[in-house]
Homo-oligomer: A and B are copies of this chain.
């Protein structure tokens, strides 16, 4: 079996994570592109790529590339994805697909119509214990879901001196905290629970209204959301990038009629399974878990898996889909998160901003 040939546009932290995952999945990293040819050359050495491309456009259409990974700033996602799909490449694109909802929806349509494999790294689905939570909730083990709640808290923008291209709506999109991390929470909780957010109301806050380089900031630092699901549950969510000491706390609790289940991305080796008379710590132990969670557990209990293991499992699944393509056809319901999933979180993000603006409940399609 020939190794897949993949290339990565964008060589920041997340580009390195893609490269590591690709290599673990047995692919050849044939090339990388960065913001300048010089940076691309340096990144090729650093990430162990076979060569560098002077321009991401060139990379996206290179004949010896099977899969294109788009890891650039948000505003460049759309053009690169279009070019790669046009050249018949399978595409892994960081979220958001686009800074505009309409464009995100169009990209998802384009990808679907292309028949090519398309994927977005909602990688928290690949924590074994998130998969175990899904297995239990969807299998009815906790009873009917009554409420879903939690938060996604970071602190990297809590200081007045912190700055980043993402705070500029023109580059990162109109929503920042929600588009960047709130979307992960929604994707994960919908995926685990099987419930879909049907309506929501939100309040947003820009806690640091002025940043050194970006100047006046229009994107939000904080979002609180109330929600109702299509199946009658209620929920709420706090999203913040200004909570000191919170590095990447994606935490949720789903309360069912019989049990609650609690997951914390920063401590992903176990679930809390609450009950009226018994509260269990479900440990990531391939010997006792569901088939899917065991599949995501390449090492025994007590040997922690981490973020890069999730990411590697996601990429391995995507490449498996690529290998089966087109013989098997693109499966109707791929295991991995797709552009369609990213488009859905774009709809939710849009509803959040509109709701906060109008101080009213908004239906989410």
Is A255 among interface residues, defined by CB-CB distance under 8 A?
yes
Contact of B207 with A248 in the complex, beta carbons under 8 Å: no
In chain A, positions 177-236 with a C-beta closer than 8 Å to chain B are 201-205, 207, 221-222, 224-226, 228, 233-236
Which residue, A26, A160, A238, A240, has most C-beta atoms of chain B within 10 A?
A238
Chain B residues near A146 (CB-CB < 8 A) = 205, 207, 221-222, 242
Is A17 among interface residues, defined by CB-CB distance under 8 A?
yes
Chain B residues near A26 (CB-CB < 8 A) = 23, 48
In the complex the two chains form, what is the Cα distance from A287 to B361 in whole Å?
40
- Supposing A244-B258, A285-B247, A361-B359 touch, asked if A302 and B203 sit within 8 A by C-beta, the answer is no
Contact of A243 with B253 in the complex, beta carbons under 8 Å: yes
> Quick one: CB contact mask for A256-272 with B, threshold 8 Å, 1 for yes?
11111000011111001
Chain B residues near A285 (CB-CB < 8 A) = 247, 277
Contact of A24 with B20 in the complex, beta carbons under 8 Å: yes
Chain B residues near A75 (CB-CB < 8 A) = none
**Nearest chain B CB to A21's CB is how many angstroms away?**
9
In chain A, positions 288-312 with a C-beta closer than 8 Å to chain B are 288, 298-309
- Supposing A48-B26, A226-B201, A228-B203 touch, asked if A302 and B266 sit within 8 A by C-beta, the answer is yes
**Nearest chain B CB to A296's CB is how many angstroms away?**
12
Is A158 among interface residues, defined by CB-CB distance under 8 A?
yes
Contact of B281 with A238 in the complex, beta carbons under 8 Å: no
Contact of A305 with B303 in the complex, beta carbons under 8 Å: no
Contact of B224 with A298 in the complex, beta carbons under 8 Å: no
Which residue of the partner chain, among B151, B234, B276, contacts A149 with CB atoms under 8 Å? Answer: B151
Is A279 among interface residues, defined by CB-CB distance under 8 A?
yes
In the complex the two chains form, what is the Cα distance from A248 to B267 in whole Å?
16
Q: How large is the interface on A (under 10, 10 to 19, 20 to 34, 35 or more residues)?
A: 35 or more
Is A16 among interface residues, defined by CB-CB distance under 8 A?
yes
Which residue of the partner chain, among B153, B203, B205, B244, contacts A256 with CB atoms under 8 Å? Answer: B244
User: Which partner residue on chain B sits nearest A21 by CB separation?
Assistant: B24
User: Which partner residue on chain B sits nearest A234 by CB separation?
Assistant: B205
In chain A, positions 1-32 with a C-beta closer than 8 Å to chain B are 13, 16-17, 20, 23-24, 26
**Nearest chain B CB to A360's CB is how many angstroms away?**
7
Contact of A154 with B302 in the complex, beta carbons under 8 Å: yes
**Nearest chain B CB to A236's CB is how many angstroms away?**
4
Contact of A202 with B226 in the complex, beta carbons under 8 Å: yes
Which residue of the partner chain, among B243, B298, B302, contacts A308 with CB atoms under 8 Å? Answer: B298
Chain B residues near A207 (CB-CB < 8 A) = 146-147, 257
Contact of B269 with A244 in the complex, beta carbons under 8 Å: no
- Supposing A259-B245, A301-B247, A304-B266 touch, asked if A147 and B238 sit within 8 A by C-beta, the answer is yes
User: Which partner residue on chain B sits nearest A45 by CB separation?
Assistant: B1
25 contacts between A and B (CB under 8 A): A13-B300, A16-B298, A20-B24, A26-B48, A146-B221, A154-B302, A159-B276, A160-B257, A203-B226, A224-B234, A224-B235, A243-B253, A243-B260, A244-B256, A244-B260, A248-B301, A265-B302, A279-B282, A299-B306, A304-B305, A305-B306, A305-B308, A306-B309, A309-B309, A360-B360
